[in-house]
Structure 1
Amino acid sequence: MTVEPSASELVDDFNAAIAALTAPGAPFGWTVRDVNGASVRVYDNAIENMRAVWLMSAPHGDKDYLVYGDERYSYTEAHARVRALAHHLRTEHGAGPGTRVAVSMRNYPEWVLSHWAATSVGAAVVGMNSWWTRPEMEFALDDSDPVALIIDGERLERLGPARDGVPLIVTRHDGELPATARAWDMVADPATAPGALPEADIDPDDDALIFYTSGTTGTPKGAQLTHRAVVHNLLNMVFLTACGDAARARRMARSGDGDDRPAPEAPPVIAMLPVPLFHVTGCNCVLHTVTIAGGCLVMMYRWDAAEALRLIEREGVTVFTGVPSMSREMLQHPDWENADTSSLRSMGGGGAAIPTDLVRRIDDGLSQGRPGVGYGLTETAGVATAISNEFYVANPSSVGPLVPCMEARVVDEEGARLDPGQRGELLLRGPNVMKGYLNRPDATAEAIVDGWFRTGDIAEIDADGWIYIKDRIKDVVIRGGENVHCSEVENAIYELDEVSEVAVFGLPDERLGEEVAAAVVLVPGAELDEAALAEHLEGRLARFKHPRRVWFLDEPLPRNANGKFLKRELRDRLEAERTRSDR
């Protein structure tokens, strides 16, 4: 009879694997170096930059790289298109280190190819949120000042006249092109591709990506992610797989379950991409990992659980990384029982905490796979902690230990470091922390103090170094993996003359994790309803930021002694009243 290991034994196995893999001379050994004024752990075997990462994938040749609907791109074709586009960006737009190329489109193959072309010549990719409205798009273009904008037809129409201010490369557009535009198929034609990429001298601390986070004052902030940061996140992803394998081997050896037979061959990396490429989860944690593994990326036009199940079966998907609501929707879908999901080896993701009940449901629902979770932020270029398989199932309330190159501490309101088990704000330091917010020195100085990034999350670190996220300091709603800063929504609502007070907050939602809600107090004698409020917000804010539940209250909103709204008290009271009324 096999005795199942305890949670503490599994933690010991995992921590021992970390120590072995990060020892001096080991594959993930590290050295402390100065990076952007901070002393951080840098992998000794780090790849130089993202151009080098892309070139490492060339030998995969005719293997499928990108699948989108009925379209398939091999590594050979992808490399040819990237070379053609890279030369166009360099010769026609002067793209190179210190410049930026913006990308605004759905999760199309062109997004992926644009990313590799731009980063391979040293330009930073500005990943524009495809849900943005015209004002949000205009702001990002003004803020990032790209030498070119690669855009799909849908967003080209949305952008309107502002598109005349930047050179365009347009894809998937049936109409007439603007005078400043070139067609994608003309500039990324594999038949005309030179035999090599343009030369580029890329420093590890040059910007590789700029991803925007929701702004607290109505304008988003562009997080500058360097080649060093993005490469270290990629190596962290590779490390996590190696660490899981090593920990499992150690556990089997300790329990006597192992034998001398060689380990079974690892399944191919065939990853579904249900999350946007303009976020670090989709780009840095899925796309980059698939590419370095020579795997296949299965892309979706939009999220749909039934379509996801169909693609998992058709393509033999082995890795599913999304927000928790996506895993729950698939498990609850009527097609789940009949769909062949036996290829799945991993299911989970990040963007929001995974409820412990969902961890168990994933583990029970997969015949060959196990659940996994990663914790990180845009500002950390991806994962800061991660855990999967039996190690996660045994500790479902934890987001795991830190990746090797990252350091963490928990501090109180005065900045004093707290002991293990005490709750406070989580600070992170490492080479994958952003360089700063583009054009926002004050915001950067507030977010990064003495090299430590303030996450705005309340956490505990236990005696084994495992991290537990408990709450948030920042006034943010995480809706289906999208960060919605409450003040941004409040500012938009305050534009209405009828509004005296407004408080925006999150409500629990089984599908999305959280949903946006608002409590509104009107000026005496004014009239406003939900329909008028929605009409006002249309065009001002992307729809995922719109409140889905609105209360119009007659009394002033509760405040503390400093005059700040007591949102948690307000939310709990309104939710309790709604629950009573639903009975």
Structure 2
Amino acid sequence: MTHRDKKIDPGLQIPVTVEQTPGAGYAACVKNHKSNRGSAVYEELKKSWTQLTAAGQPFEVVTIEVDGVPIRSYANVPPSLREIWLSTAAHGDKEYLIYDSERCSYSEAHAYTASIAHWLHGQGIGPGDRVAIAMRNYPEWMLAYWAITSMGAVVVGMNAWWVAHEMQFALEDSAPKLMICDRERMQRFAEIRDGFPELKVVAVRLHDEAPDWATDWVDVINAESRLPQVKVDPNDDACIFYTSGTTGRPKGARLTHRGCVANIFNIAFINTVQPMAVAMARGATPPAAGTAPAPNSLLATPLFHVTANNCVAQATTIAGGKLVHMYKWDAAEALELIEKERVTTFNGVPMMARELLMHPDFARRDTSSLTVLGGGGAALQPDLVEKIQQRSKAARPNTGYGMTETSGIIAAVSADFFVDKPASVGPAMPTLEAKCVGPQGEDLGPGEIGELWVRGAPVIKGYLNRPDATADSITDGWLHTGDIAYIDDEDFIFLVDRAKDMVLRGGENVYCAEVENALFAHEDVLECVVFAVADERLGEEVGAAVYRHPDSSLDATHLRAHCAGLLAPYKVPRYIWFLSEPLPRNANGKFLKRELRESLQVADAH
């Protein structure tokens, strides 16, 4: 099938990943992030930042008013994801979606999405209607996503790990008119189907005949390849992604087209401005915009979360890159795919990067194509930043800190800046204001610790059907992140902990992330989480669950001695559990801290 060419806005031809040369440089061997404050590279960062966001420039930032709230936004971006997708038709026959032996070009993908959208239109789906996607990371996920958002409908991202009753909750909450699902999710839906008699179902990768109540995906993509003509408003819902729900029922975050587009350009901006600043500080010529090779990205985290969908997939797509899909996370398979597909960019959760580096196959696999290795979803521990720098052949460390509620990244940092400030997540993006707020709601100054609040174009419209939760989380456009942080005098954000994850020990705040960083600094610790344990005398004590290297003889005494060299005595874990298996995780690869804490008995601790 073919798709007619679309006129592409030259402003969309912007780099998403910029190769950053390792080796000599002012920050290559810096261990203390304070040592280079005021250095030339930070001055150049400010200059480059100001230059790129100035009036008439590609990343010009303006203040607009949305629902009575002033927010920062880019002046020169498309109004919706529809225009973003149409612009990528210019990538033509370049490879786009890779899964196992299957390969799909941009031209083929555009033909498919036009057919999907036309078929959906024929089923009565129009702008504002919701369509659920429930499947693993198959190529059909992205095809369906682009088709739905390009016709003005709203994607409902269904967590592929959900069991039937969890699926039931999300379907009742979001009320989609149609659901696209793979075989396993269809089987789960069959258990609750009686409760959704009007819901139409499309089945993907059945391997046998579809039941009479479902339409086979083949029939959908064989429809006429004609994308419905609609106009999508920037403030329209683009998708509903559910928060992880580790503390109760998940909430449906309403991501707008404006927010998703802003996130794509935030990623492009940060991958332009930081290399530009480093080059200027070295007296070199900055990389020209649009000259970076298109990235080959490995999709290691689920597409129903913003990390994979908004940050990896969308940013790679606009640059004309290749998306290499994984059925599920496996470090050995990931290394094989990196070698085979010449993957250049890997962004998963931090533990995935750690597992790649620690895997026995890392030394024998050719990972020289990697230029970026890192991730988001949680902060990269400083020791991991150093390990990436030391052990990878060409990759530089990077991280993006963000939330579902900000449509992707809030801040990002990479390469020399990350090596210089390994405990930081970088500066807030141009379309976001950031501040730390004290317990009485007061604004705090540089270096003062408080809850991080952000406001700008990427912030969600609110939570679906939850005005109470929306009001609790957003004040005058300011999103309360729930993260405890401080912002230094160079505007770099440092996360201290989650507000609800602190240990209050005898009146002293112990930040779990700080203790976890100390534990990870021991070479025999592969995985760990730190949490509060109830204590009659002190209120709470510090507990840690640790997964050691299989060959390690590390015991609690030696681990505490290690921590004592890095932490104040009251921060050293009193309770330590050594687990025989890796720590449990959710669908996005984050550790299930609450579930783990509740399953451990104090009597079993060391």
How high is the TM-score relative to the length of structure 1?
Answer: 0.81
Does residue 151 of structure 2 align to residue 103 of structure 1?
no
Does residue 36 of structure 2 align to residue 7 of structure 1?
yes
SS for the counterpart of 1:436 is: coil
What is the aligned counterpart of 2:405 among 379, 402, 407? Answer: 379
Q: 1:61 to 1:133 in 2, by over 3 A?
A: same
Give the C-alpha shift of residue 17 in structure 1: 1.6
SS for the counterpart of 2:595 is: coil
Does residue 569 of structure 2 align to residue 547 of structure 1?
no
Aligned to 2:253: 223
Aligned to 1:567: none
Aligned to 2:97: 66
Query: In the aligned structure 1, how far is the partner of 2:322 from the partner of 2:387?
Result: 27
Moved more, 470-479 or 151-160: 470-479
Query: In the aligned structure 1, how far is the partner of 2:362 from the partner of 2:42?
Result: 32
Aligned to 1:309: 335
Aligned to 1:47: 78
SS for the counterpart of 2:72 is: strand
What is the aligned counterpart of 1:393 among 419, 444, 448? Answer: 419
What is the aligned counterpart of 1:30 among 61, 82, 85? Answer: 61
Aligned to 2:374: 348
Give the C-alpha shift of residue 507 in structure 1: 4.6
Aligned to 2:211: 178
Query: In the aligned structure 2, how far is the partner of 1:345 from the partner of 1:465?
Result: 26
Give the C-alpha shift of residue 423 in structure 1: 0.5
Give the C-alpha shift of residue 545 in structure 1: 8.1
Q: 1:544 to 1:184 in 2, by over 3 A?
A: farther
Query: In the aligned structure 1, how far is the partner of 2:545 from the partner of 2:376?
Result: 17
Q: 1:147 to 1:552 in 2, by over 3 A?
A: closer
Counterpart residue identity of residue 148, structure 1: L
Q: 1:337 to 1:23 in 2, by over 3 A?
A: same
The answer on whether the counterparts of 1:324 and 1:348 sit within 8 Å (CA) in structure 2 is: yes
The answer on whether the counterparts of 1:328 and 1:511 sit within 8 Å (CA) in structure 2 is: no
Counterpart residue identity of residue 53, structure 1: I
SS for the counterpart of 1:283 is: helix
Moved more, 3-12 or 433-442: 3-12
Superposition RMSD in Å: 2.9
Counterpart residue identity of residue 605, structure 2: R
Following superposition of structure 1 onto structure 2, how do residues 58-97 of structure 1 map, counting pairs within 5 Å?
A: 58-92=89-123, 94-97=124-127
What is the aligned counterpart of 1:115 among 121, 142, 145? Answer: 145
Query: In the aligned structure 2, how far is the partner of 1:99 from the partner of 1:124?
Result: 6
SS for the counterpart of 1:428 is: strand
Counterpart residue identity of residue 442, structure 1: D
Does residue 278 of structure 2 align to residue 248 of structure 1?
yes
Moved more, 283-292 or 22-31: 22-31
Alignment coverage as a number of residue pairs: 500
C-alpha distance after superposition, 1:490-521 (max 9, x if no partner): xxxxxxxxxxxxx9x99555699xxxxxxxxx
Following superposition of structure 1 onto structure 2, how do residues 162-177 of structure 1 map, counting pairs within 5 Å?
A: 162-163=192-193, 165=196, 166-177=199-210
Q: 1:229 to 1:173 in 2, by over 3 A?
A: same
What is the aligned counterpart of 1:212 among 242, 249, 253? Answer: 242
What is the aligned counterpart of 2:466 among 435, 440, 446? Answer: 440
Aligned to 1:414: 440
Aligned to 1:578: 605
The answer on whether the counterparts of 2:353 and 2:374 sit within 8 Å (CA) in structure 1 is: yes
C-alpha distance after superposition, 1:462-514 (max 9, x if no partner): 111111000111359999xxxx9x9xxxxxxxxxxxxxxxx9x99555699xx
Query: In the aligned structure 2, how far is the partner of 1:306 from the partner of 1:549?
Result: 29
Counterpart residue identity of residue 154, structure 1: E
Does residue 202 of structure 2 align to residue 154 of structure 1?
no
Query: In the aligned structure 2, how far is the partner of 1:46 from the partner of 1:264?
Result: 16
Query: In the aligned structure 2, how far is the partner of 1:7 from the partner of 1:44?
Result: 34
Q: 1:140 to 1:14 in 2, by over 3 A?
A: same
Query: In the aligned structure 1, how far is the partner of 2:50 from the partner of 2:469?
Result: 36
Counterpart residue identity of residue 187, structure 2: E
The answer on whether the counterparts of 2:279 and 2:286 sit within 8 Å (CA) in structure 1 is: no
Give the C-alpha shift of residue 364 in structure 1: 1.2
Query: In the aligned structure 2, how far is the partner of 1:331 from the partner of 1:80?
Result: 39
Query: In the aligned structure 2, how far is the partner of 1:3 from the partner of 1:473?
Result: 37
Query: In the aligned structure 2, how far is the partner of 1:246 from the partner of 1:267?
Result: 16
Query: In the aligned structure 2, how far is the partner of 1:364 from the partner of 1:78?
Result: 39
Q: 1:452 to 1:234 in 2, by over 3 A?
A: same
For structure 1, the residue ranges without an aligned partner over 5 or more in a row are: 487-502, 513-541, 554-573
The answer on whether the counterparts of 2:373 and 2:388 sit within 8 Å (CA) in structure 1 is: yes
Counterpart residue identity of residue 461, structure 2: K
Give the C-alpha shift of residue 37 in structure 1: 2.7
The percentage of counterpart residues that share the same residue type is 48
Query: In the aligned structure 2, how far is the partner of 1:249 from the partner of 1:456?
Result: 36
Give the C-alpha shift of residue 159 in structure 1: 2.1
